[in-house]
Structure 1
Amino acid sequence: MIETSDLNHLPEKITNEIVEANLQGIKVFELHEFYEKNNGRISLVKLNSDEYLADDVFSIGLDKTDFIFKRTVDILVSLVILPFALFIILLACIFVFLNSPGNVFFSQERVGKKSKKFKIYKLRTMTKKHDGSYTKDKDNRLFAVGKFLRKTKIDELPQLFNVLNGDMSIIGPRPERPKYVKESIAENSYFDLRHLVKPGITGWAQVNLPKATPKDNLKKLEYDLYYIKSYTVYLDLKILLRTIKVVLTFNTNL
């Protein structure tokens, strides 16, 4: 591993050592590359209130072929899951209504790809009297059935319709409310790079930080940007398998 952020030129001795190491099959990483591979996230360093330590983060993004393939997979997976999801959603609607009479569905404005706003759909898990702030552990706004739907992620199933209409993907950064997007961009300008791709029902940040709190926002952003930068079909499959594990173990954030 070699740290090169302060180097304009590499000494010949170090250059020869790097070349020799590669010839011997020894992989040499730059520091930021090692950090990414070891931690599964991009290191974002803010030096002061208006200055950042720039990496190659500005080159991230999916190409047109990736977007087309990802959209095709989203549609196929959604159509396969939908018959089973509709049955579960119907049962959940009945239990939600019996447990907390009122609208069984909940919609809210979120920010998607290219900062386009859209309505996200969920099964309602809270009482009507809530201020829309982040949920927290042992949140008293959640009613009994709502807690179960949150733990099992059943409340997220209506978002399959968001996927089918093109606002979301199965996998991607979680979409945030416009208010929080504005606050997050003011806190860290890199946050807007999340909107290079469609938001997802699940994602790399969600499976790595299933019990994330607002204090973990920077780590979540690092995971999200790593996903966009390192996107592969294999990574999507890995996220799906880990999502199943998180749901089955109830290791989720309320």
Structure 2
Amino acid sequence: MKIINPNGRYLFINISDISIKLFEDSQFLKKNKVLFYNTETDKRSIIYLIDKLKIKNIIIETSSINHISEKLTNDLVNSRYRNVKVYDVQDFYEKVNKRIPLLKFDSNEYFADNIFSIGMFNNDRIFKRFFDILLSILLLPIAIPLILAGCILIFIDSPGNVFFTQTRSGKNSCRFKIYKLRTMKSIHSGDFTKENDDRLLKVGKFLRKTKIDELPQIFNVLKGDMSLIGPRPERPEFVEDSIKENAYFDLRHLVKPGLTGWAQVHLPKATPVDNLKKLEYDLYYIKYYNFKLDLFILLKTVKVVFTMNSH
């Protein structure tokens, strides 16, 4: 996975909604030197700009061009001989932000180019399942004592059922029961946790920060309801509301939900306001899934646990 060179010099050929989204969502304009070029009005030579301004990357929006002229084609070809990288704007956005650009037009109208072909090959699914089972078994000798210790702490703090189960949506939107250690009072609503939530047990904050409360989900992984890595499993009612708002949300269910994932490590303290970004990260993970990406997410998750930063 190639990383875009920070503090670089970039030539944007025609500005699109995705370009604008890139500039709004990140510090890209502040960190880089950017030049804009309009194929309909700009008469300057692209090669001249490359040589004069030492442009290293060209980002082109082709959907706004009725046809690519012979001169523009020649300039782009010649730019490659100058070791200039040429990106389609969507590919560039994905490389910079590590997520799929979803464009929001109206309250429930979104657009994403080339999104319906994403998915996981059968060989990848088989290998991923083998990896899930192997690593889960290796984790059990560590997880079981931590789960037992967590159960004791919860029971001392708040006698009652130490485990928490809830219905979630999994692969192909099939419902399953997720297992967690209870970190809140016995009776509480299913609302999102708030900062300084008075429903949280005294020991609950520690269990959440250390992720000990999530460890029973290893048994969900062994059962096959979940994977170690994947989109966060959500409640069916939240899924239904999200699909009504944005139909692309259902694409998350092309794969099994995960104990941790690409969105979780990038937005460890996400709120409902971040739902669109979380979805963009999830779709990126599904589109670019590979074993190296899973290993990277696992290492990032370990870092989150040891630095006591909560998801």
1:92 partnered with 2:139: no
In 1, the alpha carbon distance for the partners of 2:120 and 2:98 equals: 18
**Percentage identity across paired residues of the two chains:** 64
Distance 2:210 2:184 in 1: 15
Where does the alignment leave 5 or more consecutive residues of structure 1 unmatched?
none
Count matched residues.
Answer: 253
TM-score, length-normalised on structure 1? 0.96
TM-score (norm 2): 0.79
Deviations 1:213-232 (A, max 9, x none): 00000000000001111111
Structure-2 residue corresponding to 1:9: 67
Greater shift after overlay, 227-236 or 4-13? Answer: 4-13
Match of 2:131 in 1: 73
Question: 5 Å matches for 1:18-167?
Answer: 18-49=76-107, 51-167=109-225
* 1:246 is aligned to 2:309: no
- Give the secondary-structure state (helix, strand or coil) at the position aligned to 1:147: helix
**Matches of residues 216-227 of structure 1 in structure 2 within 5 Å?**
216-227=274-285
Amino acid at match of 1:85: A
Of 216-225 and 15-24, deviating more is 15-24
Distance, in Å, in 2 between the alignment partners of 1:25 and 1:70 is 37
1:141-178 residue CA offsets vs partner (Å, 9 max, x unmatched): 11111111011111000000000010000000000000
Q: How much is the aligned-residue C-alpha RMSD, in angstroms?
A: 1.2
Q: Which has the higher helix share?
A: 1
Q: Report what 2:242 is aligned to.
A: 184
Alignment of 1:167-246 (within 5 A): 167-246=225-304
Larger mean CA deviation between 17-26 and 205-214 belongs to: 17-26
> 1:164-213 CA distances to partner (integer Å, 9 max, x unpaired)?
01000000000000010011111111100000000000000000000000
Q: Distance in 2 between matches of 1:23 and 1:120?
A: 54
Q: Which moved further from structure 2: 212-221 or 39-48?
A: 39-48
CA distance 1:140–1:72, change in 2 (3 Å) = same
Greater RCO, CA 8 A, separation 6+: 1
SS of alignment partner, residue 192 of structure 2:
coil
CA distance in structure 2 between the aligned counterparts of 1:181 and 1:68, rounded to whole angstroms: 27
Q: Distance in 2 between matches of 1:209 and 1:51?
A: 24
Deviation at 1:22, TM superposition (A): 3.2
Q: How far does residue 59 in structure 1 lie from its aligned partner after superposition?
A: 1.0
